Structure 1
Amino acid sequence: MNKTERLLAIVMELQRSKLLTADELAEVLGVSVRTIYRDMQGLSEAGVPIIGETGLGYSLLKGYFLPPISFSVEEAVSLLLGAEFIENRFDPTFREGARSSRRKIDAILSLPIRDETNRIQKSIRLLQKDEKDIMTKEKVNLGIIREAMLEGKKLRFTYHKRIAEADGNRVTVRTVSPFGLAHDEQNGWLLLASCDLREDIRHFRVSRMSDMTMTDDTFQIPDNFNLQSYRPKDTRSIRVCAIFNSEIKDKVEEANNYYMEASESKEDGYHVTFRVRQPEELLYWILGWGADVVVTEPESLKNRVREEIEKMKERY
């Protein structure tokens, strides 16, 4: 990054943030603090209204705005692909916003950049799961969730779990305070929320929610909660061990099961250790490998596998 690019980057960072210290700018731009001081002097001499507050940092004079700048091919493709993802996976309001953003970005690109960007876009495809009903349900729910988060209102919905809880119920009605949304490649959209029933933060797959409504009850996100740094509690306490046929080792690794904790190739096969909350969480995944896997522990899961095999034999 040359000096001109760095000066533009500083103005853009200040335009994006209300206040930044020299140390913060130096870290973002990968230069020394002394270089930032010199750049600030240069920007001030060039007429950019930089305000320096001793002990606090730098900011731009209120109302100052850097005119639009051109995008590189890589920047344009990144923005357009990001907009396409939102268009495909979010609720109707954001879908329209994403479409509008794509049109605006395309409109301000120079002809050579636009042609190159279109060429690259045609060579990249964002694959979506062919689960139209689930995706439609997700998008409807996402709109309600987003509205509830903006208004600080609680949500009530029916939640359908894949595996029954200790009381044998798979379906429960939950009232929650929505803290944020996260997207997972395997599970789709997840809602992080404080659950009134469990009195703790829980994760809910948006596609498993039904009958969702926004209540009149309000909530406030705790000051110590930060979605970007939040890490869920690991409640997986049960160890599951299995031996796979060595010939399918690459397929098992490629499956990249969420619960997989350790693996090792031995003479008798590919040994894999999982860590789960309930053994049943792995039952159908294990059965999917047929005779190429043997569960060695716990005994309870070995028995469940036997039971399922007997049921299958009866049906065939």
Structure 2
Amino acid sequence: MSETLYLKWRPRTFRDVVGQNRVVEVLKNQSATDRFAHAYLLCGTRGTGKTTCARILAKAVNCRHKVDGDPCGVCDVCRGIENGDYLDVIEMDAASNNGIEDMRDLKEKSIYNPSGGGKKVYIIDEVHMLSTSAFNGFLKLLEEPPEHVVFILATTDVQKLPATIISRCQRFDFRRIGEEDIAKRCLYVAGEEGIDLTPDGAMKIASLSDGALRNAISALEQLAGAGGRIDEAVVSEVLGLAGSEKLLAVASAVARCDTGEAMDALDAMYQRGVSANHFLGDLAMIFRDAAVTKAGAGAPLLGS
């Protein structure tokens, strides 16, 4: 079975990570000096690179041939971690391993020295899903961690983590990736894959991704399946969007208080299967742009 585009083009080194420059800079500097913390907490929305950076960090902790803090990507350690068969890097999904017994098992196994001579790395994804008893058990492990162990925790909901856990980790907040960065990456992937993607099509994909590169690359793969050139109009049609002309027509009707015309246009889009969430978001952007234009060029942009 062929590999999905997102997995194929997932960053393998720090230099490949898109839109998280501050996080990458700190982690890369730690790697260059081999001064790693015993526990990391990676926070942010889905698709922003938390798990990807966790795996790259796991490589950096154990890679024997790093270049300026970046894992080489070709040694046995890097390839083993990439393939998921390196024994000293263990990934756990806290959604399905969230009980006190799971934490006891982790604690028992963590005391053993790594087989490869480096450090044992535990990547715990969606760590906020741990039960209260599991958090209590894990806290004891974080308070007195074995010297040969590094914990990397990832979460989309840091508010659910106990303060005692957060305070014992180095915290990194992953921001939503900018639309220009996402569009640039989509154009690069499209070029490498022989996909005819236009700049306006890439920007449209980026605007729909909610700051998540994973969403954008997945959408690109879906659009590529239709064949032909992918421009803004094709993105709107295939992904069930209203299109700029129809959006402007609705906005104009609303501005004129023409309820009948607005409802007719909305009904037509509903029949076409246009996504209500995307439509409302795009319509809000039109009114935001109109408000900024009216207020003047110096007015601040919400969300910019």
The TM-score bracket by the shorter chain reads under 0.3
For CA contacts below 8 A with separation 6 or more, give which structure has more relative contact order: 2
Instruction: Give 1 or 2: higher helix fraction.
Output: 2
Instruction: Give 1 or 2: higher strand fraction.
Output: 1
- Which is higher, the Rg of structure 1 or of structure 2? 1
